[in-house]
Amino acid sequence: DAVPITPPEDHRRRSIDRRLTDNAPPPPQPPAPADWRETLFVWQGIVTYNPTKRRCNWVGSWAPQVSHADGPPTSRDFETHQENTFVLHRVLDKRIDLGRATDIPEVLYGRSLSWLGFYKLDQDDGKGRQRLVDFSHLFMVQPVEQTTVSSEDGSSNDNEKLLGTAIGVGSNEFGNFISVGRLVEVTTPPEPDGDDNDIETKIHLTMARRYISNNDKRSKWNTPKDAMKELNLETLKSSNDYWTVIPTKVK
């Protein structure tokens, strides 16, 4: 049988293909894993005060904010993570002079206090949600001129009034953290066939928690006052994007 002859142009094409293959750049590497500290943990709950026991309580749930482009968690996100509960409290020492303050928010204004208590977290270790505690959690609420708060869609919400901004610093087994948020008075209007006695007012505290690395200069902030000197307080007061004042990293 005759031996097939490969056309010269095929030899040249194969030679070019080999050179292209030899000089081709290496395949792209998979992206580096995301820094888990990019996730914000937003705590939202109701604050109450018992004047007889001089005890403040903050009870609610927390939800993660993974994508910054999506903004903070919505009410639906909190419903999804409603089992991520927390129960915190603070008994005000009798040496703390409350003046004429008898309720929230006045008992919190301008005082550096510490939360005690627990929060629940499922660490995917087969043990389910466990109670964890912060080693320390100092916080402070600063009063602001009362104004209405924008709803999730950006519209004005007459049923919510901003009472103060909150800043916290602390640490736990995951590292140091800083947190910022807002104290808001939420009024639930009566049903259409109800009366004014059905109006209910509660104080909500929402704080976005950011974990920071040990080599982050913010890890040296020991008190909320330290943080107040460095943070953009105007954004904290005037924007629904208050959480942007604590980016993942700072230069």
Are 103 and 49 in contact, with CB atoms under 8 Å apart? yes
Domain extent for 240: 35-245
Tens digit of each residue's pLDDT (9 = 90 or more) over 202-232: 999 999 999 999 999 999 999 999 999 999 8
Say how far apart CA 65 and CA 177 lie, in whole Å: 15
Strand 200-212, strand 40-50: pairing: antiparallel
pLDDT at 8 (0 to 100): 45
Position 22 pLDDT exceeds 80: no
Does 238 or 43 have the greater pLDDT score? 43
Average pLDDT of the segment spanning 182-208: 83
> In the chain, where do the E strands start and end?
40-50, 55-65, 85-91, 113-114, 116-122, 129-132, 136-150, 156-172, 175-188, 200-212
- Separation between Cα atoms, residue 180 and residue 161, nearest integer Å: 17
Is 14 among the domain residues? no
Burial class of 112 by CB neighbour count within 10 A (0 to 12, 13 to 18, 19+) = middle
Instruction: Return the structure tokens found at 115.
Output: 């939360």
pLDDT digits (tens, 9 = 90+) for 124-173: 888 899 999 999 999 999 998 866 666 555 556 778 899 999 999 999 99
pLDDT in tens, 52-102: 999 999 999 999 887 666 667 778 888 888 899 999 999 988 878 888 888
| The pair of three-digit structure tokens given for residue 104, joined into one six-digit string | 């929230």
pTM attached to this predicted model: 0.79
Quick one: pLDDT at residue 77? Answer: 84
So what's the pLDDT on residue 154? 55
Q: For residue 136, which amino acid is it?
A: S
Q: How confident is the model at residue 5 (pLDDT cuts 50, 70, 90)?
A: very low
Residue 124 lies in a domain: yes
Average pLDDT score over residue span 110-117 = 93
Decide if 231 contacts 193 (C-beta within 8 A): no
Please check whether residue 16 lies inside any domain of the structure: no
Predicted confidence (pLDDT) per residue in 228-248, tens digit? 999 988 888 877 788 889 988
Check pLDDT > 50 for residue 6.
Answer: no
pLDDT the model gives residue 207: 94
Number of domains in the chain: 1
